[in-house]
Amino acid sequence: MVQKSPNDHLKRFSLAFLFTASLIASPVFAGVERLAPTEGQAKTVKEVIRNLEDRHYRDMALDDEVSGRFLDHYLEMLDPAKTFFYQSDIDEFNKHRARFDDDLKAGKLDMGFEIFNRYRERMKVRLESILERLQSEDYEVDFSADEELVVDVEDAEYAVDQATANDKWHKLVKSNLLNLVLAEKTEEEAKDTLIRRYTTQLSRLDQHNSTDAFETMVNALTTIYDPHTNYLSPRTLENFNINMSLSLEGIGAVLKVEDEYTQVERIVPAGPADKQGQLKAADRIVAVGQGEDGQMVDVVGWRLDEVVNLIRGPRNTVVRLEVLPPDDVPKTIQITRNTVKLEDQAAKKATFQLSDGESLFRIGVIDVPNFYQDFEAYRNGDPNYRSTTRDVRRLLDELEQEDIDGIILDLRDNGGGSLQEATMLTDLFLDPGPVVQIRQSDDRILRDRGSRSMATFRKPLVVLVNRFSASASEIFAGAIQDYGRGLIVGTQSFGKGTVQSLVRVHEGELKITESKFYRVSGDSTQHRGVVPDIVFPDLIDFDLVGESSYDHALPWDQIHEAPHAEYFQMDSMIPLLQEKHEQRAAKDPDFVYLVKQAKLAMENNDRKVVSLNLEKRKAEEDRLKKEAMTLENARREAKGLKPYGDVKAFLAAEGEDPEDGLDSSLAEPGEISLEKDPILNETGYVLLDYIKLQRSDQVQKIANF
C-alpha cells in the first residue's frame, strides 16, 4: 500500500529547483493559456474563509497581516527555491500585499490567478529554453570546474537580473546532471533523462486548469492556519476517498511532496518496504521502474497521485525505486509489492531472560505496530473480532503465565490509528481515571475517562517510542508517563496532537483542525510530542521528520491539569536509571556506534552548499563510505568480530548480516530479537534496573497499586 500524507496535495506544483536557460525578465509571455476563476470557485472560497474564521482551532482573523503571510506562502508553494520568479515579479505582487484578505472574502480571485499564470508563463519559457539547449549537439557541462551550489533554500533569493538567474540555473541543471552521473549513468544518459524530465513537465504544465490554480491558492491560505487544514477539490477528494476505502497493493509507505520531489514521510510497519528494509523516511524518490529490468521513469516534478499510481501495482510484482537519501548518495531499491495484512500489523509478544550479574529476570516484550480494530467483524457481531486492546490483553495473560517480572510495550513506528483503542489500552495498565483531554475551538474541554474496572496488569512497564510514534501512540505514552505508571524510553515522538474533521463546501470539502489533544498533566502532545524519561540516540533529523518540521504547525501549550493519581515517584528513579543507562551505553559498542553515526548524519544533513565538481563529489562519497566503514569496524572489533578489509567488502555486506546487524528491520518479519536490535536490548536492561528499583525501598509507591 502506498499512502498519501494528509497534506501532500498542497505542493503539487512546486516544480522548481531544476532549470537553466536565458530568459528576458519581461512581465508577460505568450504561449500559455491563461486560466480564470469560475463563479463556483468564488462561492467556495467564501465558504472556506467563513469556516476558517468560525471553526478553526487557531483563532485567527483574515486581515491585512494574514493577507501578506498568504502571499508569501503562496509564492513559496509555487517557487520554493526562488528559481522562476524574478524580483521584479515579487515587487509587482507586493503592491497587492494587503488586499488579498478583502478580495478573498468577496470571492475575488483574479490576482491569485494572475500570480499562478505568471508562474506558468515563466516556467514554460524556461523549460522550452532548457530543452533547446540540452538537445543541441554542442551542449556540454564541465564537471571539472570548481563550482558550488547553495542547497539551503532558506538562503535563496530571487534573481534581480538575467545574469544572476542564468548563473543559478546553470548550477541547478549541472547539479541534476551530476546526481544522475553519480547514480552510474553516462553523461549522455543523464542528459537524455533530463530531456525526458523537462519534456514531461512541459506537457503537464499545459494540462493545468483552473481547478489546479484554485486548489493551490486556497491551500496557501488554509495551511497558514495549520498544515493539516486542507481544501480538497472534487477531484482530489475522489482520489482521497479511493485511497482510504480500497485495499490498495503497493510498497507500504506514506509519501508526501517536498519541493519537486516525492519524499517518504514514514514506512508502514509490516509492509513490503519495512520488510525489505532499505527505504527510509526522508528519502526522495527520483525514478520508478517496473519489474527487475523495466525502464526507470523519472518522476521528479510529477504530481503525487501520478507517482503513487506508478509505485502501486499487483501483489507479488517488483517495483524499483531510485532514491536520493538526505546525504545525496543515490541508491536503487527493489521491493516486491504486497498488501499490508491485519495479522502482520497485529500485536506480538516474546520473552527473554536478562541477568544483572547476580539474578536472572524474565521480561516480556509486546510489539504494537498500530492501533487497529477489525470494524467489519465488530459490526457483524463476531465475538472474536481483532483489536489492539483485545490482542494485548490476551498476550499479557500469556506472559503472566510465564511469570514475567515486567514488560516492554514497543510503540516504535506506530503512527497511531484508532484513538478509542489507544484509550482502551490504558485500561489494562491504569485504574479508573481520565486518559486524554480534548480542547475544542470554542475552548470547551472534554475528558476521556478510562474503564471503571481496575488495571489488569500491575507489574513494571516500560514504553518504547521513537520519532515515528504519533497521534494515538502519544496519547497512550503520555498517559502512562503522567500517571507515573511506567517509564518512557527512546526518542522524542512525532508531535501530532490535533484533530481534523471534513466540512462540505460549495465545491469539494475542507479538512479543518477543530480540536487539540492534551495530556492529563495539561501538556499538549502537539508539536513537542512525548519526551522520554530516558533518551536514546536517533538517526532521524527532526528538521525533516515530525510535526515540528511542518510550516505553521500549531504550537505546544498547556491547559489545566486533570485530577489523576500518581502511582510511583518517577522523579526519584529517573536520575538513577539515567546514570546506569549512560554507564552501559558508554561501554556498549552498538550504542557508541549509534551516537557517532547520528553525529555524522547530522553533520552531512547540515550542509549549506554542495560541490559541482565530479571528482570532489566522488571523493566526498568515498569519504562518507569510509567513515561509515570505520564506525562499523570499531563496533565489530569491540564485539570481537572480524572487521571489513575494505569499503567494497563493507558495502557488499551492509544490511545483509543478520548475526550482528544494528537495524531492527534485519530481524525476520514479526520477529522480536534483542540480539538484532540494540535499542530493544538496552531497553530490556533499563527495565531490569527499573524492576530492581521498584522492589527496593528507594521508591515511594501509591498504596495498593
Percentage of the chain exceeding pLDDT 70: 89
CATH architecture of 342-569: Alpha-Beta Complex (3.90)
Confidence band, pLDDT 50/70/90 cuts, at residue 243? very low
Question: Lowest-confidence range among 207-211, 389-393, 673-677?
Answer: 673-677
Annotation marks residue 280 as catalytic? no
**Average pLDDT estimate for 65-73:** 97
697 is catalytic: no
Contact 366, 352 (CB under 8 A): no
d(CA 421, CA 425): 6
* Residue 13 clears pLDDT 50, i.e. is over it: no
pLDDT at residue 42 is higher than 90? yes
What whole-number percentage of the chain has pLDDT above 90?
51
| Model pLDDT, residue 342 | 61
Which candidate in 298, 482, 523, 677 is catalytic?
A: 482
Residue 670: the pLDDT is: 60
Domain extent listing, the chain: 7-227, 247-336, 342-569
pLDDT band at 234 (very low <50, low <70, confident <90, very high): confident
CA neighbor of 35 nearest in space, from 169, 214, 178, 183: 214
At residue 276, what is the residue type?
Q
> For residue 699, what pLDDT band results from cuts at 50, 70 and 90?
low
Q: How far apart are CA 378 and CA 380, in angstroms?
A: 5
pLDDT of the residue at 14: 32
The C-alpha cell at 405 is 517480572
698: pLDDT confidence band, cut at 50, 70 and 90? low
Please tell me the predicted confidence (pLDDT) of residue 654: 61
Of 354, 344, 404, 282, whose CA–CA distance to 680 is shortest? 354
Res 601: pLDDT? 78
What is the arithmetic mean of pLDDT over 93-111? 97
Kindly tell me if the per-residue pLDDT of 24 is higher than 60. Answer: no
Closest CA to 351 of 406, 312, 392: 406
| Burial of residue 537, with CB atoms counted within 10 A of its CB: 0-12 exposed, 13-18 middle, 19 or more buried | middle
- Answer yes or no: is pLDDT of 461 > 50: yes
Please tell me which residue in 171, 256, 349, 496 is annotated as part of the active site: 496
More confident residue, 350 or 657: 350
Lowest mean pLDDT segment, chosen from 148-162, 467-481, 508-522: 148-162
What is the residue-averaged pLDDT of the chain? Answer: 86
Q: Quote the CA–CA distance of 384 and 95 in Å, as a whole number.
A: 65
Query: Would you give the end-to-end CA distance of the chain in angstroms?
Result: 43
Widest distance between CA atoms in the chain: 84
The answer to whether 457 touches 407, Cβ cutoff 8 Å, is: yes
Instruction: State pLDDT tens for residues 666-685.
Output: 455 567 888 888 899 999 99
Asked if 339 and 238 touch (Cβ cutoff 8 Å), the reply is no
One-character DSSP codes across 454-466: PPS--S-EEEEE-
What is the reported pLDDT for 416?
Answer: 87
Q: Which three cell numbers stand for residue 552?
A: 505553521
The 10s digit of each residue's pLDDT in 520-567 is 999 999 999 999 999 998 878 787 889 999 989 999 999 999 999 999
Q: How many CB atoms lie within 10 A of CB 494?
A: 28
Query: Which residues fall within 8 angstroms of residue 620, CB to CB, at 6 or more apart?
Result: 611
Whether the CB-CB separation of 561 and 522 falls below 8 Å is answered with yes
Which of the residue ranges 50-64, 368-382, 605-619 has the most confident prediction, judged by mean pLDDT?
50-64
Give 626 or 608, the one with higher predicted confidence. 626
3-state percent breakdown (helix, strand, coil) of the chain, nearest 5: 40, 15, 40
Other CB atoms within 10 Å distance of the CB of residue 445: 13
- Give the chain's length: 705
Q: Which of 130, 136, 89, 113 is nearest to 32 (CA)?
A: 113
> In the annotation, is 453 catalytic?
no
Q: Are strands 498-504 and 509-518 parallel, antiparallel or unpaired?
A: antiparallel
Q: Which residue has the higher pLDDT, 450 or 140?
A: 140
Domain 247-336 of CATH type 3.40.350.10: no
More confident: 488 or 308: 488
pLDDT, residue 663, reads: 42
Going from the C-alpha of 444 to that of each of 479, 517, 559, the distances in angstroms are 21, 12, 11
The pLDDT assigned to 582 comes to 94
Q: Which of 5, 469, 471, 515 is catalytic?
A: 471
pLDDT at 240: 60
pLDDT for the residue numbered 514: 95
Q: What are phi and psi of 518, to 5 degrees?
A: -135, 145
Q: What is the 3-state secondary structure (H, E, C) of 194-262?
A: HHHHHHHHHHHHHHCCHHHHHHHHHHHHHHHHCCCCEEECHHHHHHHHHHHHCCCCECCEEEEEECCEE
Q: What is the dihedral of CA 156, 220, 1, 525, to 10 degrees?
A: 90
